[in-house]
Amino acid sequence: MIVRYRQMGCWLSLIITIVCSLFLMMGNASSSEQNSAETPDLSEPHQSSSVSMLTRLNSGFINIATGPLELVNQPRQEIKRTNFLFGVVPGVVKGVAWFGIREGVGISEIATFPSHQKPLLEPIDTDWLSL
């Protein structure tokens, strides 16, 4: 029983660390946006608040759903970049890391979707899934 509580504590501390890191990254991103406020970005049309909230919520669900694909995508990209012998281990490590990042970002986007911010990650490229 004590082991279960220790394992839950490890997972909880990992989740808290990821969420805190994401909030720090979001703070840095918003401060850099303030510096570039001199020239307005007219490339994207202004979205209503409900549309931007739904876009962020949708992005969170997509990140959670496609997180496991990183376990295959990152090794595939690393093997393509180098070769099979030198790409497998770094690719698996990157895949596990990106899986955690994508899941954490998805959870944070779902939790903070009323904040009217842009999604944090681009959706994963799934073109390689088609045969």
Average pLDDT on 41-64 reads: 78
Query: What pLDDT is attached to residue 52?
Result: 80
What ranges do the domains of the chain cover?
48-123
Q: What pLDDT shows up at residue 116?
A: 75
pLDDT for the residue numbered 104: 94
Angle 18-9-57 from CA coordinates, rounded to 5°: 35
In a 13 Å sphere around the CA of 84, the CA atoms on its Cβ side amount to 0
| pTM (2 d.p.) | 0.60
Distances (CA, A) of 113 to 18, 42, 62, 85, 99: 17, 23, 13, 42, 21
Residue 99 has a pLDDT of 95
* Span 58-109, pLDDT tens digits: 999 999 999 999 999 999 999 999 998 888 999 999 999 999 999 999 999 9
Q: List Cα–Cα distances, 59 to 9, 11, 43, 105, in angstroms.
A: 28, 24, 20, 9
pLDDT at res. 108:
93
Which range in 4-13, 25-34, 62-71 is most confidently predicted, on average pLDDT? 62-71
C-alpha to C-alpha distances, 18 to 13, 48, 51, nearest whole angstrom: 9, 29, 27
Q: Which two tokens stand for residue 24?
A: 């720090």
As a whole number, the mean pLDDT across the chain is 78
